[in-house]
Structure 1
């Protein structure tokens, strides 16, 4: 736990933030913070706005209201140049991994170094092998992407996300599609890399069991707002019906299967009927 850290150690902060697209609000009145060295889970069901929150954290989506700060800078008001510099201090591991299929494992991981630094090839060799070693794939450096498994590809993408030694790493559904053994190994890998790099890590996930074993803090979103926050122990002890249902995966409770009716849907439907 890193509760002793000062405000200057807050890497990412959402203050009274509302996020959405056009007039549509996805998440309202969000308050959360991520500190140096912390591993934080952002959990919620499908469609709860987790990926929207990720887009706001990297400055791809500007808050409708409130302030998103990364490294103490308001992402809504920085210049494109400063935003680029801020993003270079972040690593993002997208759900699909998004490896270049025409490059081998080594060149995939080397790509950010070649694009964003003036490192010599000798330094690149050392840095890339170090990061591949950290994810257990040093001896796979020469392989084509088509020659490695899906779980290995995810680890290569992780090595690429951390090759610039970012101060903040954002993981979008890092456990999706992994078998139980790879899942446990990936979770431990994320914790170990966070501790080794001293960076802050945010896991966007709905995998409760695995993420709760490695995180310091949990934020849960749903119904368009922040529903709960605290340590994994805090959330497990909660009496909130929605949180309990989500954590236990129960079909009974306040979470319903149907997408809720909205004025926007009613308006759309009446226009469709008028056109028939």
Structure 2
């Protein structure tokens, strides 16, 4: 389809892109805003591979179209592509959109933790997060999961939505490629993992086993807690715990950083890398 030019920021055809910073679409009927070229490529790949994500429309800065011809060609012809000048695009978005690339996406269906775990092989590596509300951390956890070959990410109901625009951008689109589920309590997630014979390890500065000494298993799950308090004592008491050695003077690592280090070690132990 040829790009459709938008001259008016109030054009109803691009209403979903208006003031996206104030009215992010995540959590609203499964729709989300994808921002940037890399995330657009991941969304096009999702179409190609038949995943649960689809694009509904695309909005571009006029001078970005030429460099995205091949990517745009991968979307179905019924997905409209709108273009606008920088001035109009900034009025639509409500701020200066220097990337000049937006897409409205939709997630089809909402998988449960059980659904995702049931689809995994006998050898599997899963990341689970409890109560993480920082969008940067959620996005980085997904990026780490993709980088180190994790098979899925499981989030409890206390975690923020990974389809929030900033989380999706920080993940460089990995939210669209790594299978995940969000919902239920931490206890529900732990029960689902136990029922499927996962060796569960919780990350904590006071963990009993140094991460490099964690014995590999066919099915492993790595649990990360909140940015400030970490995993609750009640949770730590029910699972095996691992720590990451660090120099004295700092009490803990950022949740996403800790997850990345631990994932690398476990993926190496499982022979994934």
For the criterion TM > 0.5, the same-fold answer is no
- Which has the larger share of helix? 1
- What TM-score, normalized by structure 2, do the two folds share? 0.25
Using CA pairs under 8 Å that are at least 6 residues apart, name the structure with larger relative contact order, 1 or 2: 1
